[in-house]
Amino acid sequence: MTPFFFGPMERRLYGVYHPPAPAQRTAQQVLLCPPFGQEAVRVQLLQRLLADQLARQGIHVMRFDYHGTGESTGADNDATLTGWCDDILTAHEELSRRTRAHSTTWLGCRLGGTLAMLASSKGKDKGTPERIVLWEPILDGTSYLQELGQAHAQHSFSPFLHTERPAAQVKDEVLGFEVSEAWIRQLQAVTAEQLNPTCAEACVHLASQQGQDTLGLAKRLQARGVAWHHLDTQTRIDWFQEEARGSAVAPPELLRLLVSAATGAAA
């Protein structure tokens, strides 16, 4: 694998390119779009394992950090959802420049799946994927903020240090990650009805179940001739664990399902 920085000087992004095994090289490429905060920490191992497995099957793979996250430049509270969508498009351009692949899949986990959908609908000039894989995407930003607020209140409270629990509301921090007012406003504006992903062939949805919002999204895509496939992960993940108290998410059966979804074998 090859770590590197890319993008404009004022917004340098950190990426890791996993080249395909020479004997298995294909014309496929996969861009991994990470989730937010502690969720990104928890799936970091799985994303690396996923990238390695796909590369061994001859697929070009790239992981990256959004602006203000991980090894990329910028502070936590510099981040916005619109900026992160632009980062996905920049990463897509960089991966395509390196590979000249003919088929692209974006695989987004949680908020990364939401961002992939948003970016695809604005990325016609920079290219759009043939397939989008959505691993438990966020379809309601307000509900997600409430869950983040409750998790932050739970994990930041200590009976030895505090007399009362903090308010279960996201203000400027979530489990050790600073967020801006603009980031919160943009997340509040995310609704299932607003999401209108652009992909040529299919969306693959991975989750333990499909809610009404998910079914509505599926119907809209199918009406446009885009295939929709739901894959049951058969497991529920507690996404709101703090790093020190949580654990990495990398069960073998989930990894196999993600590989199948990314390659199209499960559809």
Q: What is the pLDDT of residue 245?
A: 47
Give the residue-averaged pLDDT of 31-54.
94
Instruction: List Cβ neighbours of 215 (8 Å cut-off, separation of 6 or more).
Output: none
Tell me the one-letter amino acid at 256.
R
Q: Which CATH architecture has domain 2-139+191-263?
A: 3-Layer(aba) Sandwich (3.40)
How far apart are the C-alpha atoms of 132 and 137, rounded to whole Å? 11
Instruction: List Cβ neighbours of 135 (8 Å cut-off, separation of 6 or more).
Output: 107, 108, 109, 110, 113, 206, 207, 258
Instruction: List Cβ neighbours of 69 (8 Å cut-off, separation of 6 or more).
Output: 34, 40, 76, 79
Phi then psi for residue 238, to 5 deg, are -80, 100
DSSP reduced 3-state for 102: coil
Q: What is the pLDDT of residue 154?
A: 77
Convert the pLDDT of each residue in 151-163 to its tens digit: 877 766 555 555 5
Distances from the Cα of 228 to the Cαs of 44, 91, 131, 264, in angstroms?
27, 25, 10, 12
Give the residue-averaged pLDDT of 94-114.
94
b/e for 76-94, b at 16 or more Cβ within 10 A?
Answer: bbbbbbebbbbbbbbbbeb
Q: What is the pLDDT of residue 121?
A: 87
Q: Look at residue 28 and tell me whether its pLDDT is greater than 70.
A: yes
Domain map of the chain by residue range? 2-139+191-263
DSSP 8-state assignment for residue 242: -
Q: What is the pLDDT of residue 241?
A: 64
User: What pTM value is reported for the model?
Assistant: 0.91
Convert the pLDDT of each residue in 55-81 to its tens digit: 999 999 999 999 999 999 999 889 999
Range in 23-27, 92-96, 110-114 the model is least confident about: 23-27
Instruction: List Cβ neighbours of 83 (8 Å cut-off, separation of 6 or more).
Output: 11, 66, 67, 68
